[in-house]
Chains A and B, each alone.
Chain A
Amino acid sequence: GAGVSQSPRYKVAKRGQDVALRCDPISGHVSLFWYQQALGQGPEFLTYFQNEAQLDKSGLPSDRFFAERPEGSVSTLKIQRTQQEDSAVYLCASSFPTNTEAFFGQGTRLTVV
């Protein structure tokens, strides 16, 4: 597609619920990143994929967070047993190749109630 697409745009989850956030990167982009942005803050790195390989997951805040990119294109960020502190905007970005300009999606705003 023309840009990075994320869905859903908004998600309200009850505490304890599992959620799945989807990212469609720009076609052909090798690198895919997930970031978390709390209100009033800059985005913070969560995880990085090169094709289907998850090369860095050091930013994932807990083992409740899991990301995958099984075929090297679409990626899913899953959060299990959501908690209020998970409320944030989750941004996906892609680039080709790594360390060139990154293009960000519109984000998914997750609110845990």
Chain B
Amino acid sequence: KQEVTQIPAALSVPEGENLVLNCSFTDSAIYNLQWFRQDPGKGLTSLLLIQSSQREQTSGRLNASLDKSSGRSTLYIAASQPGDSATYLCAVTSGTYKYIFGTGTRLKVLA
């Protein structure tokens, strides 16, 4: 059974820092890995989708990498801003359509 773990559970950093969020999964036979952002009381906003054949994706200040063999993905946020404060969720699909989510990392960027 696929399990997704995110570390750390919570993170507080000063504005301007570069930071890394980690996601690990137990079954390397994944189809996609997707990173989402969730603001309090809101739905999920897709940030980056990495297909199993890819190793990384970039969008603006965000870069996500995927290492299937080790069951890991990282989300790198450059030059963090207070507006980046949110919960970041990673999710995988494993040949089926279901997303299996981690419990998220709650990020707070201090001004």
Note whether A and B form a binding pair: yes
Binding site for B on A (CB under 8 A): 4, 6, 31, 33, 35, 40-45, 48, 56, 59, 91, 93, 98-107, 109
Nearest-Cβ distance from residue B40 to partner chain A, whole angstroms: 11
By a CB distance below 8 angstroms, the chain B residues around A43 are 44, 89, 91, 99, 101
Nearest-Cβ distance from residue A84 to partner chain B, whole angstroms: 20
Binding site for A on B (CB under 8 A): 4, 31-32, 34, 36, 41-46, 49, 89, 91, 93, 97-104
Q: Which of B4, B34, B102, B103 contacts A102 (CB 8 A)?
A: B34
Are A105 and B46 touching (Cβ within 8 A)?
no
Q: A31-B97, A33-B97 are in contact. Are A105 and B43 (CB under 8 A)?
A: yes
Q: A91-B44, A99-B31, A106-B42 are in contact. Are A48 and B97 (CB under 8 A)?
A: yes
Nearest-Cβ distance from residue B19 to partner chain A, whole angstroms: 20
**26 cross-chain CB contacts under 8 A:** A6-B43, A33-B97, A33-B98, A35-B99, A40-B103, A42-B91, A42-B102, A42-B104, A43-B89, A45-B100, A48-B97, A91-B44, A93-B99, A99-B97, A100-B32, A100-B49, A101-B32, A101-B46, A101-B49, A102-B99, A104-B44, A104-B45, A106-B42, A106-B43, A107-B42, A109-B41
By a CB distance below 8 angstroms, the chain B residues around A105 are 43
Q: A40-B103, A42-B91 are in contact. Are A104 and B97 (CB under 8 A)?
A: no
Q: In the complex, what residue of chain A is closest to B44 when comparing beta carbons?
A: A104
